[in-house]
């Protein structure tokens, strides 16, 4: 059972239907069924059967390409990521509140943060996590260099820019440990790039 969450991709639970690229992805069918039941609000056998039917019909009618995006589900990592997100949300919220009521105009900056992991999934998930935290605003993403461009509110304050970059790197590591492959985790454990990037 722990194999499902450790080494194998969830996509190894899919099988081909007929010819062509129609693929029945069992985790996807399960997830769609859960959503169906939650939306109806009453867990009953009728809802379960209907949900499975609708999910299978959807998967057959709108086939998705069978791409391994490198998603692994690591329960412990997901818990740690969730806990850190909650903590970060509260602490950043206090910080933004302080900035709202502080006097004087700000001198903002746009800062590039090069990530260490070259995986689309980790890049996307990191950007989503960073922008869900108050005070995190992602302006632009570069896929080729895996770079995130952040808007930092109070850049004139010393340490603010470096702090923002450190937070992104911390988030990247946690995301890789929650959803990444073993390779991603090894990438994320490397030391962060030193020094200022060329302006």
Instruction: Provide the binding-site residues for another protein, judged by CB under 8 A.
Output: 35, 37-39, 41-43, 89-90, 93, 96-97, 99-101, 105-112, 127-128, 131-142, 149, 151, 153, 155-156, 161, 197-199
**Smallest distance from another protein to CB 107, Å:** 4
Closer residue to another protein in complex, CB, 40/189: 40
**CB of 26 or CB of 37, closer to another protein:** 37
What letters, b where the CB count within 10 A reaches 16 and e where it falls short, cover 33-56? beebbeeeeeeeeebeeebbeebe
From residue 70, how far is each of 9, 66, 186 by CA, in Å? 7, 12, 14
CB nearer to another protein: give 34 or 189.
34
**Residue (4 or 155) nearer to another protein, CB:** 155
Tokens of 193: 């790039």
Alpha carbons 194 and 197: distance in angstroms, whole number: 9
Q: Which residues sit opposite 112 in a β-bridge?
A: 149
- Work out how close the CB of 196 gets to another protein at its nearest, in angstroms, rounded to a whole number: 9
């Amino acid at each position: 059972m722990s194999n499902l969450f450790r080494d194998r991709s969830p996509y190894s639970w899919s099988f081909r239907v007929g010819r062509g690229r129609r693929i029945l992805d069992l985790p996807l069918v399960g997830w769609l069924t859960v959503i169906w039941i939650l939306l109806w609000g009453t867990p009953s056998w009728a809802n379960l059967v209907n949900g499975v039917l609708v999910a299978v019909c959807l998967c057959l009618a709108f086939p998705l390409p069978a791409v391994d995006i490198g998603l692994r589900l690591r329960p412990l990592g997901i818990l740690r990521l969730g806990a850190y997100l909650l903590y970060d949300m509260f602490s950043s919220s206090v910080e933004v509140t302080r900035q709202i009521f502080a006097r004087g105009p700000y001198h903002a900056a746009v800062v590039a943060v090069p990530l260490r992991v070259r995986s689309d999934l980790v890049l996307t998930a990191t950007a989503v996590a960073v922008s869900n935290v108050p005070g995190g605003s992602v302006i632009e993403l570069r896929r080729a260099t895996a770079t995130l461009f952040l808007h930092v509110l109070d850049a004139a304050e010393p340490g603010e820019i470096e702090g923002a970059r450190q937070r992104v790197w911390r988030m990247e590591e946690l995301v890789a440990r929650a959803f990444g492959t073993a390779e991603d985790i090894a990438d994320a454990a490397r030391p962060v790039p030193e020094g200022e990037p060329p302006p």
